[in-house]
Amino acid sequence: MSDGLAAFGGRASLDLLAENDWAVAFRDRYPVSPGHSLVVPKRAVQSLFELPPEEFQSSWELVAIVRSQLQERYQPDAFNIGINDGLAAGQTITQAHIHLIPRYSGDRPDPRGGIRWVLPEQAAYWLPSSNTNKADFNLNSKGDS
């Protein structure tokens, strides 16, 4: 199996939190919140969706374990858990990884919308002036309409 940790500097350079047969968890080197951690498959793949089913499931099982550890240690009020799947989604390291970002009441003035803020003009779907109602979500086009 190829080394999925090489993209992060290799095992020796990581602050390991947990591990199972198919994935490793460690602290993010550039945390956006106290406790920000990553779960990374041991197999070198750019997308989690390239993994065999057992390895995919094992990665998410490790997410649950690390979430519990972070909850106990940092006592956050909530979590953002997600992936940047591909360059257009903001993936800057071409090894699949899952972010666990502990969130705390007051860390943002208005956290409503959460992950939707990756596209700010679409995020405030609850507001009448939101562009969400105007957006073309036709999956057959690439925005060239």
Question: Do 24 and 66 belong together in one domain?
Answer: yes
Q: Is residue 1 part of a domain?
A: no
Lowest mean per-residue pLDDT among 28-42, 86-100, 103-117: 103-117
Angstrom distance (rounded) from CA 113 to CA 2: 37
Question: Do 27 and 82 belong together in one domain?
Answer: yes
Residue-wise pLDDT for 1-10, tens only, equals 569 999 999 9
Q: ∠ at Cα 11 (86, 35), nearest 5°?
A: 70
Which residues are known to be catalytic? 97
Owning domain of residue 133: 112-145
CATH number for position 75: 3.30.428.10
Return the structure tokens found at 5. 């940790």
Question: Do 20 and 84 belong together in one domain?
Answer: yes
Contacts of 42 (CB under 8 A, 6+ apart): 1, 3, 4, 5, 22, 23, 24, 55
Return the structure tokens found at 47. 């997308």
Angstrom distance (rounded) from CA 43 to CA 38: 15
